[in-house]
Copies of this chain bind each other. A is one copy, B any other.
Amino acid sequence: MALYSSSVEYGLHCLLFLVDSSGAARASSLDLAEFQGISPSFVAKLFGRLKAAGLVTAIEGAHGGYQLARRAEDITVLDVVDALEGDKPLFQCKEIRRNCALFADSAPSWATKGLCSIHAVMREAESLMKQSLANHTLADLSERVQRKAPKTFSIDANAWFADRKTAKSRRKSSDK
Interface pair A100/B144, CB less than 8 Å apart:
no
Main secondary structure on chain A at its contact with chain B? helix
Interface pair B129/A144, CB less than 8 Å apart:
no
Copies of this protein in the complex: 2
Q: How far is the CB of A163 from chain B (nearest CB, A)?
A: 11
Choice from B92, B117, B125 contacting A145 with Cβ under 8 Å: B117
25 contacts between A and B (CB under 8 A): A1-B88, A2-B3, A2-B90, A2-B91, A4-B90, A4-B92, A6-B93, A8-B92, A8-B122, A9-B94, A13-B96, A13-B97, A35-B102, A36-B96, A36-B99, A36-B101, A90-B129, A101-B160, A121-B133, A121-B136, A122-B133, A125-B132, A128-B128, A128-B129, A129-B129
